[in-house]
Amino acid sequence: MNTDPLDIERGRDLLADARSVIILTGAGISAESGIPTFRGEEGLWRNFRAEELATPEAFARDPRLVWEWYDLRRQKVLECAPNAAHDRIAEWLTRNEGVVLATQNVDGLHERAWLDVGQVDGGRLLEIHGTLFRVRCTACGRESPHREPVDSSSPDTLPHCEACGGLLRPAVVWFGEALDPAIIGGAFEAAEGADVCVVVGTSAVVQPAASLATVTRETGGRIIEINPESTPLTPICDVSLRGTAVACVPALLSDI
Ligand code: BV8
Ligand code: ZN
C-alpha cells in the first residue's frame, strides 16, 4: 500500500471546498469486516461466480441453491460488524447534509454503522442493489424485512409469503434486473450535482453503479478513489489512494 500523505491532503482539500458529495461504495469497503468481495479470490462459492447465482434465471432454475447461497451470506454478515471506514462515513453523513451515500453492497453494514451514531436519513443512504435482509414475494410482490435462517433442504422449507403463499426471494437486484428507478434516479441526481465523488472499494465493473462517478466528472465534479488496485475509473480520478478502506477513509474524512 502506498498512500502518499500528499495525495490524502489533496483529497482533503477537495472535500473541504465541496458543498455536495456523493460516496459510492462496493464490496471492498466490507472486506476488512470479513466479508469476501465478489471478484477477489474468495468470490467463488462451490465454484459458482456471483454472476451465475445472482440472476432471476438461476433462482427460477434452482431456488434452493440460490437461497442456500444467500442464507450463508446473511449468516456471515450477521457475524461481522461495520469497520472504521463504515463508521467514519456514518459520522460524516450525520455531520453533513450535503453528503449522499450510494452503496452497491447488500450487507447492510452502512445502515448498521449509521444507526450506531444517529438517525438514518433514508434519502441519503441509497442501497442501489437492495439488501440481504428484506424479501419480496415472487407472486404478489409484497416486500418485508426478513433475517431468519432459511432451510433450503426442500422446496417446501423455503420461505413463503404469509399473504398469498408465494415463494419469497431476496429483495436484491440481480444481474439483468432493473434497479429501483427512484433509488438509482436519486443516486444519479446526487452524482450530477456533486462537487466530489468518493469511490471506495469497487472494481467499477458493474453498471449502472460505476457510471455514477463518471457522471460527477462529466458535470464538472472531481473524483477521489480508494482502492488497493487500479480500476477502469483510475484514469479519470483526481486523487487515487492506493490503500484499503480502513487505512484511507478515516485519514481522508477526519475532522472534515
Ligand atoms: C441492469 C446484488 C438493465 C446481488 C449486484 C448482459 C445482460 C444483462 C445485463 C448486463 C449484461 N452485460 C452487462 C450488463 C449490465 C450488468 C453488469 O453490469 N454486468 C457486469 C458483470 C458487466 N448490470 C446489471 O445487470 C444491472 N441491471 O443493467 O439492468 C435493465 C434495464 C431495464 C430493464 C431490465 C434490465 C444490475 C446489476 C446489479 C447486480 N447485483 N449485487 C447480490 O449482491 O447478491 S452486483 C454485485 O457486484 C454487488 O452488489 C457488488 O457490490 C457489485 C460490484 O462489485 P464490487 O462491489 O465492485 O465488488 P468487486 O469484488 O468487483 O470489487 C471489489 C473491489 O474492492 C476491488 O476493486 C478490490 O480491489 C477492492 N478491495 C478489496 N479489498 C479492499 C478493497 N478496497 C478497499 N479496501 C479493501 N480492504
Ligand atoms: Zn405474496
Instruction: Kindly report the pTM of this predicted structure.
Output: 0.96
Q: What is the pLDDT of residue 235?
A: 98
The angle formed by the CA atoms of residues 135, 137 and 140, to the nearest 5 degrees, is 145
| 238 C-alpha to ligand 1 centroid (Å) | 23
Q: Rounded to whole angstroms, how far apart are CA atoms 158 and 43?
A: 25
Sequential DSSP letters for 153-171? SSGGGS-B-TTT-PBEEEE
**Nearest protein Cα to ligand 1, atom 49:** 104
Tell me, in angstroms, the distance from the centre of ligand 2 to residue 148's CA: 18
User: Which ligand has the nearest atom to the CA of 135?
Assistant: 2
Residue percentage of the chain with pLDDT more than 70: 99
pLDDT classification of 43: cutoffs 50, 70, 90: confident
Tell me which residue has its CA closest to atom 10 in ligand 1.
176
Ligand approaching nearest to the C-alpha of 142: 2
What separation in angstroms does the CA of 123 have from each of 27, 110, 246?
Answer: 21, 14, 25
The model's pLDDT over 217-245, given as tens digits with 9 standing for 90+, comes to: 999 999 999 999 999 999 999 999 999 99
Residue with CA closest to ligand 1 atom 15: 207
Residue owning the nearest CA to atom 12 of ligand 1: 176
Query: Mean per-residue pLDDT for 47-67?
Result: 93
Q: Ligand 1 pocket: which residues have CB below 6 Å?
A: 26-28, 31-32, 37-40, 43, 51, 54, 104-106, 129, 172-178, 201-203, 205-207, 226-229, 231, 244-245
* Mutation test residue for ligand 1: of 101, 206, 231, the one with most atoms within 8 Å of CB: 206
pLDDT in tens, 76-124: 999 999 999 999 999 999 999 999 999 999 999 999 999 999 999 989 9
Residue 45: per-residue pLDDT: 73
Residue 160 annotated in active site: no
CA of 139 to the centre of ligand 2 (A): 5
How far is the C-alpha of 12 from the C-alpha of 31, rounded, in Å?
Answer: 24
Q: What does the mean pLDDT of the chain come to?
A: 95
Bond before 56 cis per omega within 30 degrees: no
Confidence at 1, pLDDT banded by 50, 70, 90: low
